[in-house]
Chains A and B, each alone.
Chain A
Amino acid sequence: MLRVEGITQIFGGLTALEDVSFQVEKGKITGVIGPNGAGKTTLFNIITGLYTQSRGKVFLEGTEISGFPPERLAPRGLVRTFQNIEMFSQMTVLENVLVGLHTRSRCGIFSCAFKLPWQLSEERRMREEAFRWLEFCGIGELADLEAGALPFGKCRSVEVARAMAVNPRILLMDEPAAGLNSRETADLEVLIRKIRETGVTVVLVEHDMELVMDICDAIVVLNLGKKLAEGTPREIQENPAVIKAYLGEG
Protein backbone atom coordinates (compact mmCIF):
# COMPACT_ATOMS: atom_id res chain seq x y z
CA MET A 1 0.00 0.00 0.00
CA LEU A 2 2.52 2.55 1.20
CA ARG A 3 6.24 1.97 0.89
CA VAL A 4 9.08 4.23 1.95
CA GLU A 5 12.57 3.48 0.70
CA GLY A 6 15.78 4.79 2.16
CA ILE A 7 14.32 8.04 3.46
CA THR A 8 17.04 10.38 4.70
CA GLN A 9 16.35 13.89 5.90
CA ILE A 10 19.10 16.31 6.79
CA PHE A 11 18.29 19.68 8.38
CA GLY A 12 21.43 21.77 8.17
CA GLY A 13 23.97 19.57 9.96
CA LEU A 14 21.38 17.46 11.75
CA THR A 15 20.37 14.11 10.35
CA ALA A 16 16.74 13.76 11.40
CA LEU A 17 16.15 10.55 9.49
CA GLU A 18 18.67 8.12 8.12
CA ASP A 19 17.89 5.48 5.54
CA VAL A 20 14.45 4.56 6.84
CA SER A 21 12.56 1.94 4.85
CA PHE A 22 9.35 0.09 5.64
CA GLN A 23 6.09 -0.96 4.17
CA VAL A 24 2.50 -0.51 5.25
CA GLU A 25 0.06 -3.26 4.39
CA LYS A 26 -3.32 -2.54 2.95
CA GLY A 27 -6.28 -2.54 5.34
CA LYS A 28 -4.15 -2.72 8.46
CA ILE A 29 -3.38 -0.33 11.27
CA THR A 30 0.33 0.40 11.46
CA GLY A 31 1.87 2.28 14.35
CA VAL A 32 5.06 4.33 14.15
CA ILE A 33 6.54 4.74 17.60
CA GLY A 34 9.77 5.93 19.13
CA PRO A 35 11.13 8.18 21.85
CA ASN A 36 10.90 11.97 21.46
CA GLY A 37 13.08 13.23 18.64
CA ALA A 38 13.12 9.89 16.86
CA GLY A 39 11.92 11.52 13.63
CA LYS A 40 8.35 10.27 13.55
CA THR A 41 6.69 13.57 12.69
CA THR A 42 9.45 14.39 10.20
CA LEU A 43 8.72 11.07 8.48
CA PHE A 44 5.00 11.94 8.38
CA ASN A 45 5.75 15.36 6.96
CA ILE A 46 7.80 13.79 4.20
CA ILE A 47 5.21 11.17 3.30
CA THR A 48 2.44 13.78 3.24
CA GLY A 49 4.38 16.22 1.10
CA LEU A 50 5.04 18.98 3.63
CA TYR A 51 8.80 18.38 3.55
CA THR A 52 10.92 17.21 0.66
CA GLN A 53 13.35 14.54 1.75
CA SER A 54 17.08 14.80 1.16
CA ARG A 55 17.15 11.24 -0.18
CA GLY A 56 14.83 8.31 -0.62
CA LYS A 57 11.49 7.52 -2.21
CA VAL A 58 7.86 7.16 -1.23
CA PHE A 59 5.46 4.88 -3.12
CA LEU A 60 1.68 4.76 -2.88
CA GLU A 61 0.30 1.53 -4.35
CA GLY A 62 3.32 1.17 -6.55
CA THR A 63 3.32 4.75 -7.86
CA GLU A 64 6.13 6.99 -6.77
CA ILE A 65 4.78 10.02 -4.92
CA SER A 66 8.07 11.46 -3.64
CA GLY A 67 7.90 15.23 -3.52
CA PHE A 68 4.20 15.48 -4.38
CA PRO A 69 2.62 18.47 -2.61
CA PRO A 70 -0.26 17.60 -0.25
CA GLU A 71 -2.91 18.92 -2.64
CA ARG A 72 -1.84 16.31 -5.19
CA LEU A 73 -1.85 13.54 -2.61
CA ALA A 74 -5.40 14.15 -1.38
CA PRO A 75 -7.06 13.16 -4.67
CA ARG A 76 -4.86 10.04 -4.71
CA GLY A 77 -6.31 9.07 -1.35
CA LEU A 78 -3.52 9.99 1.02
CA VAL A 79 -4.68 12.23 3.86
CA ARG A 80 -3.33 13.10 7.30
CA THR A 81 -4.39 14.61 10.60
CA PHE A 82 -2.24 16.86 12.75
CA GLN A 83 -0.87 16.55 16.25
CA ASN A 84 -1.87 20.12 17.06
CA ILE A 85 -5.20 19.90 15.20
CA GLU A 86 -5.25 22.31 12.30
CA MET A 87 -8.92 23.21 12.58
CA PHE A 88 -10.61 25.74 10.29
CA SER A 89 -11.60 27.49 13.48
CA GLN A 90 -13.71 30.31 12.05
CA MET A 91 -15.91 27.90 10.14
CA THR A 92 -18.68 25.65 11.40
CA VAL A 93 -18.11 21.96 11.99
CA LEU A 94 -20.17 21.12 8.91
CA GLU A 95 -18.15 23.55 6.77
CA ASN A 96 -14.94 21.95 8.01
CA VAL A 97 -16.14 18.60 6.71
CA LEU A 98 -17.36 20.21 3.48
CA VAL A 99 -13.79 21.40 2.84
CA GLY A 100 -12.84 17.74 3.07
CA LEU A 101 -15.12 17.14 0.09
CA HIS A 102 -13.28 19.75 -1.97
CA THR A 103 -11.49 17.34 -4.27
CA ARG A 104 -14.66 15.40 -4.86
CA SER A 105 -16.61 18.38 -6.13
CA ARG A 106 -16.01 20.25 -9.33
CA CYS A 107 -17.71 23.65 -9.51
CA GLY A 108 -15.30 26.51 -10.15
CA ILE A 109 -15.44 30.19 -9.30
CA PHE A 110 -17.77 30.94 -12.19
CA SER A 111 -20.45 28.33 -11.51
CA CYS A 112 -20.29 29.07 -7.78
CA ALA A 113 -20.67 32.84 -8.23
CA PHE A 114 -23.61 32.42 -10.59
CA LYS A 115 -25.18 29.55 -8.64
CA LEU A 116 -25.67 27.49 -11.77
CA PRO A 117 -28.12 24.58 -11.46
CA TRP A 118 -25.44 21.88 -11.22
CA GLN A 119 -23.72 23.84 -8.47
CA LEU A 120 -26.91 23.68 -6.40
CA SER A 121 -27.29 19.93 -6.81
CA GLU A 122 -23.60 19.37 -6.11
CA GLU A 123 -23.92 21.46 -2.95
CA ARG A 124 -26.91 19.38 -1.81
CA ARG A 125 -25.04 16.15 -2.44
CA MET A 126 -21.98 17.46 -0.55
CA ARG A 127 -24.06 18.42 2.47
CA GLU A 128 -25.65 14.99 2.63
CA GLU A 129 -22.28 13.30 2.50
CA ALA A 130 -20.76 15.69 5.05
CA PHE A 131 -23.55 14.82 7.47
CA ARG A 132 -22.88 11.12 6.90
CA TRP A 133 -19.25 11.62 8.00
CA LEU A 134 -20.30 13.66 11.02
CA GLU A 135 -22.62 10.82 12.04
CA PHE A 136 -19.82 8.33 11.38
CA CYS A 137 -17.68 10.17 13.94
CA GLY A 138 -20.63 10.60 16.31
CA ILE A 139 -20.72 14.39 16.17
CA GLY A 140 -23.80 15.02 14.00
CA GLU A 141 -25.29 17.28 16.65
CA LEU A 142 -22.30 19.65 16.45
CA ALA A 143 -22.78 20.45 12.75
CA ASP A 144 -23.69 24.13 13.11
CA LEU A 145 -21.28 25.06 15.89
CA GLU A 146 -18.20 27.13 15.22
CA ALA A 147 -15.22 24.78 15.18
CA GLY A 148 -12.99 27.16 17.11
CA ALA A 149 -15.35 27.05 20.09
CA LEU A 150 -15.24 23.26 20.51
CA PRO A 151 -13.40 21.43 23.29
CA PHE A 152 -10.18 19.72 22.22
CA GLY A 153 -11.58 16.19 22.19
CA LYS A 154 -14.39 17.16 19.84
CA CYS A 155 -11.90 18.89 17.53
CA ARG A 156 -10.18 15.53 17.07
CA SER A 157 -13.44 13.99 15.92
CA VAL A 158 -14.07 16.89 13.54
CA GLU A 159 -10.59 16.48 12.13
CA VAL A 160 -11.18 12.78 11.52
CA ALA A 161 -14.57 13.45 9.92
CA ARG A 162 -12.94 16.05 7.69
CA ALA A 163 -10.16 13.68 6.69
CA MET A 164 -12.58 10.83 5.98
CA ALA A 165 -14.63 13.13 3.74
CA VAL A 166 -11.64 13.28 1.38
CA ASN A 167 -12.30 9.57 0.77
CA PRO A 168 -8.81 8.43 1.71
CA ARG A 169 -7.35 5.03 0.95
CA ILE A 170 -4.74 5.65 3.58
CA LEU A 171 -5.05 7.91 6.60
CA LEU A 172 -2.00 9.07 8.53
CA MET A 173 -2.75 10.23 12.06
CA ASP A 174 -0.14 12.22 13.96
CA GLU A 175 -0.60 11.53 17.69
CA PRO A 176 -4.38 11.30 17.60
CA ALA A 177 -4.59 10.56 21.33
CA ALA A 178 -2.45 13.51 22.40
CA GLY A 179 -4.38 15.71 24.81
CA LEU A 180 -7.33 13.33 25.12
CA ASN A 181 -8.61 12.00 28.44
CA SER A 182 -8.99 8.25 28.93
CA ARG A 183 -12.64 8.16 27.91
CA GLU A 184 -11.95 10.15 24.77
CA THR A 185 -9.03 7.84 24.00
CA ALA A 186 -11.33 4.85 24.32
CA ASP A 187 -13.77 6.49 21.90
CA LEU A 188 -10.90 7.21 19.54
CA GLU A 189 -9.88 3.57 19.61
CA VAL A 190 -13.39 2.55 18.57
CA LEU A 191 -13.33 5.20 15.83
CA ILE A 192 -9.98 4.06 14.43
CA ARG A 193 -11.22 0.45 14.27
CA LYS A 194 -14.33 1.70 12.51
CA ILE A 195 -12.15 3.52 9.98
CA ARG A 196 -10.26 0.30 9.27
CA GLU A 197 -13.56 -1.52 8.76
CA THR A 198 -14.39 0.88 5.92
CA GLY A 199 -11.29 -0.46 4.19
CA VAL A 200 -9.05 2.52 4.89
CA THR A 201 -5.44 1.75 5.80
CA VAL A 202 -4.36 3.61 8.94
CA VAL A 203 -0.87 4.70 9.97
CA LEU A 204 -0.46 6.40 13.31
CA VAL A 205 2.31 8.06 15.22
CA GLU A 206 1.46 7.71 18.87
CA HIS A 207 2.94 7.96 22.34
CA ASP A 208 0.08 6.24 24.11
CA MET A 209 1.58 2.71 24.22
CA GLU A 210 -1.56 1.10 25.53
CA LEU A 211 -3.49 2.39 22.53
CA VAL A 212 -0.76 1.40 20.10
CA MET A 213 -0.38 -2.14 21.44
CA ASP A 214 -4.15 -2.51 21.51
CA ILE A 215 -5.11 -1.54 18.00
CA CYS A 216 -2.04 -1.81 15.79
CA ASP A 217 -1.56 -4.80 13.52
CA ALA A 218 2.06 -3.84 12.87
CA ILE A 219 4.53 -1.49 14.49
CA VAL A 220 7.61 0.32 13.22
CA VAL A 221 10.01 1.63 15.86
CA LEU A 222 12.22 4.62 15.15
CA ASN A 223 15.07 5.77 17.35
CA LEU A 224 17.43 8.68 16.69
CA GLY A 225 16.32 8.85 13.06
CA LYS A 226 16.87 5.17 12.29
CA LYS A 227 14.53 2.24 12.08
CA LEU A 228 15.14 0.17 15.17
CA ALA A 229 12.64 -2.61 14.71
CA GLU A 230 9.41 -3.65 13.11
CA GLY A 231 6.89 -6.39 13.76
CA THR A 232 3.69 -7.25 15.55
CA PRO A 233 2.94 -5.56 18.90
CA ARG A 234 4.00 -8.73 20.74
CA GLU A 235 7.34 -8.95 18.90
CA ILE A 236 8.02 -5.29 19.59
CA GLN A 237 7.21 -5.61 23.29
CA GLU A 238 9.74 -8.41 23.58
CA ASN A 239 12.44 -6.83 21.42
CA PRO A 240 15.49 -6.11 23.61
CA ALA A 241 16.70 -3.24 21.41
CA VAL A 242 13.34 -1.50 21.77
CA ILE A 243 13.29 -1.98 25.52
CA LYS A 244 16.78 -0.55 25.68
CA ALA A 245 15.86 2.50 23.62
CA TYR A 246 12.85 3.27 25.79
CA LEU A 247 14.22 2.47 29.21
CA GLY A 248 17.96 2.96 28.76
CA GLU A 249 20.52 0.34 29.65
CA GLY A 250 19.97 -1.32 33.02
Chain B
Amino acid sequence: MKRDYLLFVLFTLVVLAAPCAFKGGYLLNVLVFMGINTMLAVALNLLLGFAGQISLGHASFFGLGAYFSGILSTTYGFNPWLTMLIAAVAVGLLAFGLGFPILKLKGHYLAMATLGFGIIVYIVFNETVALTGGPSGLSGIPNLRLGGILFDGDLKNYYLIWSFALVTMLLSINLAHSRIGRALRAIHDSEVASRVMGVNARLLKVQVFALSAIISAVAGSLYAHTMSFISPASFGFNFSVELVTMVIIGGLGSIFGSFLGAALLTMLPELLRVVQDYDIVVYGLLLIVMTMYMPKGLAGGIATLWRLLRPKKNGAIDHAQG
Protein backbone atom coordinates (compact mmCIF):
# COMPACT_ATOMS: atom_id res chain seq x y z
CA MET B 1 0.00 0.00 0.00
CA LYS B 2 2.75 2.44 1.03
CA ARG B 3 4.68 1.22 -2.00
CA ASP B 4 1.87 2.33 -4.33
CA TYR B 5 1.90 5.87 -2.96
CA LEU B 6 5.69 6.09 -3.10
CA LEU B 7 5.56 4.90 -6.68
CA PHE B 8 2.86 7.46 -7.41
CA VAL B 9 4.98 10.34 -6.12
CA LEU B 10 7.95 9.21 -8.22
CA PHE B 11 5.70 8.74 -11.22
CA THR B 12 4.24 12.24 -10.81
CA LEU B 13 7.74 13.73 -10.76
CA VAL B 14 8.66 11.86 -13.93
CA VAL B 15 5.46 13.03 -15.64
CA LEU B 16 6.10 16.65 -14.63
CA ALA B 17 9.70 16.52 -15.81
CA ALA B 18 9.17 14.51 -19.00
CA PRO B 19 8.49 17.44 -21.40
CA CYS B 20 11.99 18.81 -20.65
CA ALA B 21 13.41 15.73 -22.33
CA PHE B 22 11.25 16.06 -25.42
CA LYS B 23 11.56 19.45 -27.03
CA GLY B 24 9.95 18.28 -30.24
CA GLY B 25 6.23 18.68 -30.71
CA TYR B 26 5.69 15.27 -32.23
CA LEU B 27 6.76 13.16 -29.27
CA LEU B 28 4.93 15.46 -26.90
CA ASN B 29 1.82 14.85 -28.95
CA VAL B 30 2.28 11.10 -28.47
CA LEU B 31 2.59 11.68 -24.73
CA VAL B 32 -0.69 13.61 -24.74
CA PHE B 33 -2.41 10.58 -26.29
CA MET B 34 -0.68 8.39 -23.77
CA GLY B 35 -2.27 10.44 -20.97
CA ILE B 36 -5.75 10.04 -22.45
CA ASN B 37 -5.20 6.32 -22.96
CA THR B 38 -3.93 6.00 -19.40
CA MET B 39 -7.16 7.54 -18.10
CA LEU B 40 -9.20 5.15 -20.23
CA ALA B 41 -7.17 2.09 -19.26
CA VAL B 42 -7.37 2.92 -15.55
CA ALA B 43 -11.13 3.45 -15.90
CA LEU B 44 -11.62 0.11 -17.63
CA ASN B 45 -9.32 -1.58 -15.15
CA LEU B 46 -11.64 -0.59 -12.30
CA LEU B 47 -14.34 -2.62 -14.02
CA LEU B 48 -12.32 -5.40 -15.64
CA GLY B 49 -9.35 -5.80 -13.33
CA PHE B 50 -11.08 -5.16 -10.01
CA ALA B 51 -14.72 -6.19 -10.37
CA GLY B 52 -13.87 -8.76 -13.07
CA GLN B 53 -16.59 -7.55 -15.46
CA ILE B 54 -15.74 -7.27 -19.13
CA SER B 55 -16.77 -4.37 -21.35
CA LEU B 56 -16.18 -4.47 -25.08
CA GLY B 57 -17.95 -1.17 -25.52
CA HIS B 58 -15.88 1.27 -23.53
CA ALA B 59 -14.84 3.26 -26.60
CA SER B 60 -18.47 4.34 -26.84
CA PHE B 61 -18.37 6.07 -23.42
CA PHE B 62 -15.19 7.80 -24.54
CA GLY B 63 -16.96 8.76 -27.77
CA LEU B 64 -20.12 9.92 -26.01
CA GLY B 65 -18.02 12.16 -23.77
CA ALA B 66 -16.26 13.58 -26.81
CA TYR B 67 -19.47 14.17 -28.78
CA PHE B 68 -21.46 15.61 -25.86
CA SER B 69 -18.68 18.06 -25.23
CA GLY B 70 -17.97 18.71 -28.90
CA ILE B 71 -21.56 19.31 -29.97
CA LEU B 72 -22.59 21.39 -26.97
CA SER B 73 -19.56 23.66 -27.16
CA THR B 74 -19.32 23.95 -30.94
CA THR B 75 -22.94 23.99 -32.10
CA TYR B 76 -24.55 25.50 -29.02
CA GLY B 77 -21.67 27.62 -27.72
CA PHE B 78 -21.53 26.24 -24.16
CA ASN B 79 -18.41 26.78 -22.07
CA PRO B 80 -16.13 23.73 -22.62
CA TRP B 81 -15.71 23.11 -18.87
CA LEU B 82 -19.48 23.07 -18.48
CA THR B 83 -19.85 20.68 -21.40
CA MET B 84 -17.29 18.38 -19.81
CA LEU B 85 -19.39 18.32 -16.65
CA ILE B 86 -22.62 17.78 -18.61
CA ALA B 87 -20.98 14.96 -20.59
CA ALA B 88 -19.76 13.28 -17.39
CA VAL B 89 -23.17 13.47 -15.71
CA ALA B 90 -25.10 12.38 -18.81
CA VAL B 91 -22.80 9.43 -19.55
CA GLY B 92 -22.78 8.48 -15.87
CA LEU B 93 -26.58 8.36 -15.78
CA LEU B 94 -26.71 6.45 -19.05
CA ALA B 95 -24.18 3.88 -17.82
CA PHE B 96 -26.02 3.56 -14.52
CA GLY B 97 -29.30 2.88 -16.30
CA LEU B 98 -27.66 0.53 -18.77
CA GLY B 99 -25.71 -1.24 -16.05
CA PHE B 100 -28.71 -2.64 -14.21
CA PRO B 101 -29.98 -4.91 -16.98
CA ILE B 102 -26.62 -5.52 -18.65
CA LEU B 103 -24.53 -6.45 -15.61
CA LYS B 104 -26.89 -9.25 -14.71
CA LEU B 105 -25.13 -11.05 -17.54
CA LYS B 106 -21.85 -12.81 -17.00
CA GLY B 107 -18.79 -13.69 -19.05
CA HIS B 108 -19.37 -14.04 -22.77
CA TYR B 109 -22.92 -12.75 -22.55
CA LEU B 110 -21.78 -9.55 -20.91
CA ALA B 111 -19.07 -9.20 -23.56
CA MET B 112 -21.70 -9.54 -26.29
CA ALA B 113 -24.10 -7.06 -24.67
CA THR B 114 -21.44 -4.39 -24.20
CA LEU B 115 -20.20 -5.07 -27.72
CA GLY B 116 -23.73 -4.51 -29.01
CA PHE B 117 -24.03 -1.26 -27.10
CA GLY B 118 -20.73 -0.06 -28.55
CA ILE B 119 -21.87 -0.82 -32.07
CA ILE B 120 -25.19 0.98 -31.60
CA VAL B 121 -23.43 4.09 -30.33
CA TYR B 122 -20.97 3.92 -33.22
CA ILE B 123 -23.84 3.77 -35.71
CA VAL B 124 -25.55 6.72 -34.03
CA PHE B 125 -22.33 8.78 -34.35
CA ASN B 126 -22.23 7.95 -38.06
CA GLU B 127 -25.87 8.37 -38.94
CA THR B 128 -27.03 11.45 -37.05
CA VAL B 129 -25.20 13.65 -39.53
CA ALA B 130 -27.06 16.83 -38.61
CA LEU B 131 -25.86 16.53 -35.04
CA THR B 132 -22.46 14.83 -35.21
CA GLY B 133 -21.34 15.61 -38.71
CA GLY B 134 -21.48 11.92 -39.53
CA PRO B 135 -18.43 10.04 -40.81
CA SER B 136 -16.65 13.25 -41.82
CA GLY B 137 -16.59 14.29 -38.18
CA LEU B 138 -17.04 17.41 -36.13
CA SER B 139 -14.43 20.14 -36.34
CA GLY B 140 -13.73 23.50 -34.80
CA ILE B 141 -14.24 22.34 -31.23
CA PRO B 142 -13.00 25.10 -28.92
CA ASN B 143 -10.03 24.58 -26.59
CA LEU B 144 -10.38 24.67 -22.84
CA ARG B 145 -9.43 27.88 -21.09
CA LEU B 146 -8.38 28.29 -17.48
CA GLY B 147 -8.00 31.88 -16.33
CA GLY B 148 -5.77 33.46 -18.95
CA ILE B 149 -4.41 30.17 -20.28
CA LEU B 150 -5.86 28.76 -23.47
CA PHE B 151 -4.94 25.09 -23.86
CA ASP B 152 -4.00 25.16 -27.50
CA GLY B 153 -0.38 23.95 -27.68
CA ASP B 154 1.10 20.50 -27.14
CA LEU B 155 2.96 21.47 -23.97
CA LYS B 156 -0.10 23.05 -22.36
CA ASN B 157 -2.25 20.12 -23.40
CA TYR B 158 0.32 17.75 -22.00
CA TYR B 159 0.03 19.27 -18.55
CA LEU B 160 -3.76 19.53 -18.81
CA ILE B 161 -4.26 15.91 -19.80
CA TRP B 162 -1.70 14.51 -17.42
CA SER B 163 -3.10 16.37 -14.42
CA PHE B 164 -6.41 14.63 -15.13
CA ALA B 165 -4.64 11.31 -15.68
CA LEU B 166 -2.66 11.62 -12.45
CA VAL B 167 -5.75 12.52 -10.43
CA THR B 168 -7.55 9.53 -11.97
CA MET B 169 -4.67 7.27 -10.97
CA LEU B 170 -4.48 8.64 -7.44
CA LEU B 171 -8.22 8.29 -6.83
CA SER B 172 -8.14 4.77 -8.24
CA ILE B 173 -5.24 3.80 -5.98
CA ASN B 174 -7.20 5.18 -3.02
CA LEU B 175 -10.23 3.21 -4.08
CA ALA B 176 -8.20 0.03 -4.55
CA HIS B 177 -7.03 0.13 -0.93
CA SER B 178 -10.47 0.80 0.53
CA ARG B 179 -13.49 -1.27 1.47
CA ILE B 180 -14.96 -0.58 -1.98
CA GLY B 181 -11.82 -1.84 -3.74
CA ARG B 182 -11.80 -4.95 -1.58
CA ALA B 183 -15.49 -5.59 -2.20
CA LEU B 184 -14.90 -5.33 -5.95
CA ARG B 185 -12.03 -7.81 -5.82
CA ALA B 186 -14.15 -10.08 -3.65
CA ILE B 187 -16.86 -10.05 -6.34
CA HIS B 188 -14.17 -10.93 -8.86
CA ASP B 189 -12.93 -13.94 -6.84
CA SER B 190 -16.27 -15.28 -5.63
CA GLU B 191 -19.44 -13.34 -6.21
CA VAL B 192 -21.53 -15.67 -4.07
CA ALA B 193 -19.17 -15.41 -1.08
CA SER B 194 -19.03 -11.64 -1.42
CA ARG B 195 -22.82 -11.50 -1.26
CA VAL B 196 -22.87 -13.73 1.81
CA MET B 197 -20.50 -11.21 3.40
CA GLY B 198 -23.16 -8.58 2.72
CA VAL B 199 -21.67 -6.99 -0.38
CA ASN B 200 -24.47 -5.79 -2.65
CA ALA B 201 -22.66 -7.17 -5.70
CA ARG B 202 -25.31 -6.15 -8.19
CA LEU B 203 -25.40 -2.50 -7.14
CA LEU B 204 -21.64 -2.23 -6.71
CA LYS B 205 -21.01 -3.61 -10.19
CA VAL B 206 -23.40 -1.03 -11.64
CA GLN B 207 -21.77 1.75 -9.62
CA VAL B 208 -18.27 0.89 -10.78
CA PHE B 209 -19.54 0.52 -14.35
CA ALA B 210 -20.94 4.05 -14.13
CA LEU B 211 -17.76 5.38 -12.51
CA SER B 212 -15.68 3.80 -15.23
CA ALA B 213 -17.94 5.32 -17.90
CA ILE B 214 -17.73 8.76 -16.27
CA ILE B 215 -13.92 8.73 -16.28
CA SER B 216 -14.00 7.59 -19.92
CA ALA B 217 -16.41 10.41 -20.78
CA VAL B 218 -14.14 12.99 -19.14
CA ALA B 219 -11.25 11.57 -21.16
CA GLY B 220 -13.49 11.93 -24.23
CA SER B 221 -14.22 15.59 -23.46
CA LEU B 222 -10.52 16.29 -22.97
CA TYR B 223 -9.80 14.55 -26.25
CA ALA B 224 -12.38 16.62 -28.12
CA HIS B 225 -11.20 19.92 -26.69
CA THR B 226 -7.50 19.27 -27.24
CA MET B 227 -7.78 17.78 -30.74
CA SER B 228 -10.51 20.22 -31.85
CA PHE B 229 -11.69 17.52 -34.23
CA ILE B 230 -13.47 14.22 -33.64
CA SER B 231 -14.87 11.57 -35.94
CA PRO B 232 -16.59 8.23 -35.29
CA ALA B 233 -13.53 6.27 -36.45
CA SER B 234 -11.79 6.97 -33.12
CA PHE B 235 -14.61 5.39 -31.09
CA GLY B 236 -15.26 2.11 -32.87
CA PHE B 237 -15.03 -1.51 -31.84
CA ASN B 238 -11.30 -1.65 -32.60
CA PHE B 239 -10.59 0.94 -29.97
CA SER B 240 -12.71 -0.90 -27.39
CA VAL B 241 -10.60 -3.99 -28.00
CA GLU B 242 -7.44 -1.94 -27.83
CA LEU B 243 -8.49 -0.67 -24.39
CA VAL B 244 -9.07 -4.20 -23.14
CA THR B 245 -5.65 -5.11 -24.53
CA MET B 246 -4.04 -2.23 -22.62
CA VAL B 247 -5.58 -3.36 -19.35
CA ILE B 248 -4.65 -7.02 -19.82
CA ILE B 249 -1.13 -6.36 -21.07
CA GLY B 250 -0.58 -3.85 -18.29
CA GLY B 251 -1.89 -6.17 -15.62
CA LEU B 252 -5.42 -6.71 -14.35
CA GLY B 253 -6.02 -4.86 -11.12
CA SER B 254 -2.83 -2.81 -11.27
CA ILE B 255 -3.19 0.95 -11.71
CA PHE B 256 0.42 1.43 -12.77
CA GLY B 257 0.00 -1.59 -15.01
CA SER B 258 -2.76 0.28 -16.83
CA PHE B 259 -0.31 3.10 -17.47
CA LEU B 260 2.27 0.62 -18.79
CA GLY B 261 -0.30 -1.01 -21.06
CA ALA B 262 -1.52 2.37 -22.29
CA ALA B 263 2.06 3.55 -22.83
CA LEU B 264 3.00 0.45 -24.78
CA LEU B 265 -0.07 0.52 -26.99
CA THR B 266 0.26 4.24 -27.62
CA MET B 267 3.88 3.92 -28.69
CA LEU B 268 3.56 0.68 -30.57
CA PRO B 269 1.91 2.15 -33.70
CA GLU B 270 4.74 4.70 -33.85
CA LEU B 271 7.33 1.96 -33.51
CA LEU B 272 5.53 -0.29 -35.96
CA ARG B 273 5.43 2.23 -38.77
CA VAL B 274 7.90 -0.02 -40.61
CA VAL B 275 5.50 -2.96 -40.78
CA GLN B 276 2.58 -0.72 -41.75
CA ASP B 277 -0.73 -2.55 -41.88
CA TYR B 278 0.62 -5.65 -40.20
CA ASP B 279 0.70 -3.95 -36.81
CA ILE B 280 -2.53 -5.75 -35.91
CA VAL B 281 -0.59 -9.03 -36.19
CA VAL B 282 1.91 -7.73 -33.68
CA TYR B 283 -0.93 -6.78 -31.27
CA GLY B 284 -2.34 -10.27 -31.57
CA LEU B 285 1.00 -11.95 -30.96
CA LEU B 286 1.70 -9.65 -28.06
CA LEU B 287 -1.61 -10.52 -26.42
CA ILE B 288 -1.06 -14.26 -26.89
CA VAL B 289 2.50 -14.21 -25.58
CA MET B 290 1.56 -11.98 -22.65
CA THR B 291 -1.39 -14.07 -21.51
CA MET B 292 0.68 -17.25 -21.77
CA TYR B 293 3.89 -16.12 -20.10
CA MET B 294 2.90 -13.04 -18.13
CA PRO B 295 -0.68 -13.58 -17.00
CA LYS B 296 -0.38 -10.74 -14.51
CA GLY B 297 0.72 -8.37 -17.25
CA LEU B 298 3.67 -5.99 -17.35
CA ALA B 299 3.05 -4.90 -13.77
CA GLY B 300 3.05 -8.50 -12.56
CA GLY B 301 6.13 -9.28 -14.64
CA ILE B 302 8.04 -6.36 -13.17
CA ALA B 303 6.99 -7.35 -9.64
CA THR B 304 8.26 -10.90 -10.22
CA LEU B 305 11.52 -9.60 -11.64
CA TRP B 306 11.92 -7.32 -8.63
CA ARG B 307 11.39 -10.24 -6.26
CA LEU B 308 13.94 -12.37 -8.07
CA LEU B 309 16.59 -9.67 -8.10
CA ARG B 310 16.10 -8.46 -4.55
CA PRO B 311 18.29 -10.12 -1.91
CA LYS B 312 16.15 -12.52 0.13
CA LYS B 313 15.73 -11.64 3.77
CA ASN B 314 13.00 -13.90 4.96
CA GLY B 315 10.95 -16.53 3.22
CA ALA B 316 7.67 -15.57 4.84
CA ILE B 317 7.97 -11.89 4.00
CA ASP B 318 8.91 -12.75 0.47
CA HIS B 319 5.82 -14.87 0.16
CA ALA B 320 3.62 -12.11 1.53
CA GLN B 321 4.39 -9.87 -1.41
CA GLY B 322 3.01 -12.42 -3.81
Q: Which residues on A are within 8 Å of B, measured CB to CB?
A: 48, 50, 69-71, 73-75, 79-80, 82, 86-92, 95, 98-103, 105, 107-109, 112-115, 119, 122-123, 126, 144-146, 149, 162-163, 166
Contacts and interface: CB of A to CB of B under 8 A. Distances in A.
B227 interface: no
Contacts of B183: 99, 102
Interface of B: 171-172, 174-175, 178-183, 185-186, 188-190, 192-201, 207-208, 211, 253, 316, 319-320, 322
Contact of B189 (A50, A73, A88, A115): A88
B207 A102 contact: no
B319 A71 contact: no
A90 B198 CA distance: 19
Nearest to B322: A146
A80 B319 contact: no
B175 A112 contact: yes
22 contacts: A48-B196, A74-B195, A74-B197, A79-B196, A79-B197, A86-B196, A87-B190, A88-B193, A88-B194, A90-B185, A90-B188, A95-B182, A107-B178, A107-B180, A109-B180, A112-B180, A113-B171, A113-B178, A114-B171, A146-B320, A162-B197, A166-B198
Contacts, number: 111
B179 A98 contact: yes
A71 B189 contact: no
A74 to B, nearest CB: 3
A119 B320 CA distance: 25
A123 to B, nearest CB: 7
Given A112-B180, A113-B174, 16 more contacts: A69-B195, A70-B195, A71-B200, A73-B196, A75-B198, A87-B189, A88-B193, A92-B320, A103-B198, A109-B211, A112-B179, A112-B181, A114-B171, A115-B178, A145-B316, A146-B319
A69 B196 CA distance: 9
A43 to B, nearest CB: 16
Contact of B190 (A86, A103, A112, A115): A86
B89 to A, nearest CB: 15
B39 to A, nearest CB: 14
Nearest to B189: A88
B185 A88 contact: yes
Nearest to A103: B198
A47 B37 CA distance: 47
A99 B200 contact: no
A102 B198 contact: yes
Nearest to A86: B193
A163 B194 CA distance: 11
B174 A103 contact: no
Contacts of A100: 197
